[in-house]
Structure 1
Amino acid sequence: MTKSGSHIDSRGTLFYNNDFNLSAIKRMYAIENHNIDFVRAWQGHQIEQRWFSVMYGSFRIQLIAIDHWDNPSKDLERLVFILNAKKLDVLHIPPGYVSSIQSLEPDSKLLVLADYSLGEVKDEFRFESDYFQEKK
């Protein structure tokens, strides 16, 4: 994850993320879940990569590295990240991962950046929301 910073002066606050390189980005879109109880899970890409940054509110993002795309193990390790709009942090999702996205506040909005144009490659994988078991 690339970390953000901020500068405050008499004019207001400037938020920045000078370490995030945008050169691979080909498209962007935003996600708003319809309520905080809904979890948008599990979708990912074998080839494509994504970058997430919160525009408004906050999100709980879970990532799982897939071992076998045709029949993934159900007990793979989850990585958990909390992102919020108070920072301009950017979470990188490399190829080979699926994600779970849950809003933690009403009206939260997540900016998603992608390195392939829509339809450029056929690389979307979806699994049922209860497919992966949480480790106890």
Structure 2
Amino acid sequence: MEVPYIIKGGQHTDERGQLCYNNDFDLSEVKRIYTIENWSTETIRGWQGHKIERRWFSVVSGSFKIELIAIDKWENPAKDCKLFSFELLADKLDVLCVSKGYVSKIQALERNSKLLVMADYLIGEVKDEYRFEIDYFNE
């Protein structure tokens, strides 16, 4: 299983303003996009994941903490799995790449944070959504 990784973005500032970019992210596999905005920094979305779908995450405003766990058996996953943790900021257009086989837990670290999520399947194209209680995995 591919380990999650970040494709670094960048920014340019001049007298006109600021430009954030990510020239290394290939969008050719993306079929769908949506945003997530939590009303509170106390809200934690998780654990939700996909056996066959890929996801890409990029922060549009504010910052988010995203935690990921690779799942081997989807019907009864181990509770003491390795945890990957990422903190994404809106100051550059970094993209967190998550291959199939992971569940995620997402939390805004600042008020008014917005997370862009991209997926490689359209809604209804496959049935591939798995959810676990927030305290299911030992951390």
**2:11·2:91 contact (CA, 8 Å) conserved in 1?**
no
- Pick aligned residue for 1:15 from 2, 6, 20: 20
Structure 1 equivalent of residue 52 of structure 2: 47
- Pick aligned residue for 1:61 from 66, 74, 77: 66
* Percentage of identical aligned residues: 62
Give 2:92's aligned amino acid: K
Give 2:18's aligned amino acid: T
Give the deviation of 1:69 after TM superposition.
0.6
Structure 2 equivalent of residue 27 of structure 1: 32
Work out whether 1:95 is the aligned partner of 2:105. no
Structure 2 equivalent of residue 3 of structure 1: 8
Per-residue deviation, residues 80-114 of structure 1 (Å, max 9, x unmatched): 00001111000011100000000000111100001
Q: Which runs of 4+ in 1 moved over 3 A?
A: none
- Alignment gaps of 5+ in structure 1: none
Structure 1 equivalent of residue 3 of structure 2: none
- Alignment gaps of 5+ in structure 2: 1-5
Q: TM-score, normalised by structure 1?
A: 0.96
SS of the residue corresponding to residue 65 of structure 2 reads strand
Give 1:21's aligned amino acid: D
Give 1:114's aligned amino acid: A
Structure 2 equivalent of residue 117 of structure 1: 122
Q: TM-score, normalised by structure 2?
A: 0.94
Distance between the aligned counterparts of 1:108 and 1:11, measured in 2? 24
Work out whether 1:127 is the aligned partner of 2:132. yes
